[in-house]
Amino acid sequence: MRAHEIDYTIYGEEMQYVEIELDQNEGVVAEAGSFMMMHEGIKMETIFGDGSKQSSSLLDSIFGAGKRLLTGESLFMTAFYNTYPDKRSVSFASPYPGKILAVDLNKFGGKVICQKDAFLCAAKGVSVGIEFSKRLGRGLFGGEGFIMQKLEGDGMAFVHAGGTLATKELKAGEKLRVDTGCIVGFTKDVDYDIEFIGGIRNTVFGGEGLFFATLTGPGTVYVQSLPFSRLAGRVLSALPNGNNKKGEGSVLGGLGDLLNGDNRF
């Protein structure tokens, strides 16, 4: 199934939204809760899975919904169709401060892998599936677990990154080390693994966790400066009686905070 051809415009700086323009009968699918606004003439429909399969059998619907459960997403997605003869638009907003990345799957061999909560919306016909990690270490310590999302097809897809977005083009054999939570996504030819930081002081006092994510080219890697988990941690630590976690990934945890004079009595 070929994906619908859609036009789009991304607005804003820190809190962005994407406006997608649809011709008659064109459609877009989105995560539940990302909808912002739409013109009259746009029909909204709740569907099982991502709705990319041409078959409408119950088995296909259940299988598509089951894949979404494995990635921690809702059983349902929302599809929006233009029922009017002239162009109409529908908009989707970022869930928190950051950037919206437009990905043309045609340019990347029809497949991009991304973290589980990065997907925002896509042209109708793009498949939102699951990507299993074949490496035990990556699954246990890679920050994203054994399962990531994969976007497949020949249309446009939109993903969200927290903070500032960095795009890195890796040559064959070139390696990039990244904090495990800062990965947004990467193209299908990039090799993703984890690497132990090493060193007693780095491990105990470094506050950066025990592992790096290593991405080896060739391919394109997208990195975010503000993962949602980090943002949430900072908010929680600022709340009254909240847990102040300056050490973040440090093995010493609260003891490290005490040594830094950050605990208040």
8 A C-beta contact, residue 228 and residue 180: no
CATH of residue 102's domain is: 3.60.160.10
Listed residue (99, 103, 138) closest to 219, CA to CA: 103
Q: What is the pLDDT averaged over residues 238-257?
A: 52
pTM of the model: 0.77
Residue 30 lies in a domain: yes
What tens digit of pLDDT does each residue of 108-164 get? 999 999 988 899 999 999 988 888 765 545 444 444 445 788 999 999 999 999 999
Residue 232 placed within a domain = yes
Under a CB-based contact definition with an 8 Å cutoff, are residues 116 and 72 in contact?
Answer: yes
Residue 25 lies inside a defined structural domain of this protein: yes
Predicted local distance difference test score (pLDDT) of residue 57 = 52
For residue 102, what are the contacts with CB-CB under 8 A and spacing of at least 6? Answer: 8, 10, 18, 156, 157, 158
What would the pLDDT profile of 194-236 be if each residue is shown by its tens digit? 887 654 554 554 445 567 889 999 999 999 998 887 777 777 8
Kindly state whether residue 254 falls inside one of the protein's structural domains.
no
The DSSP letter of residue 171 is P
Does residue 251 lie within any of the structural domains?
A: no
Residue 57 lies in a domain: yes
Q: Is residue 87 part of a domain?
A: yes
How high is the pLDDT of residue 70? 54
What pLDDT sits at residue 228? 81
pLDDT at 213: 85
Q: How many domains does the chain have?
A: 1
Q: What is the mean pLDDT of the chain?
A: 78
Contact 74, 46 (CB under 8 A): no
pLDDT value for 133: 62
Residue numbers of the domain that contains 199: 7-237
The helix (run of H) or strand (run of E) holding residue 60 is: helix 58-70
- 160-192 pLDDT per residue, tens: 999 999 999 999 999 999 988 899 999 999 998
CA 131 from centre of chain: 13
pLDDT digits (tens, 9 = 90+) for 41-73: 999 998 876 666 544 455 555 555 555 555 555
166 beta partners: 223
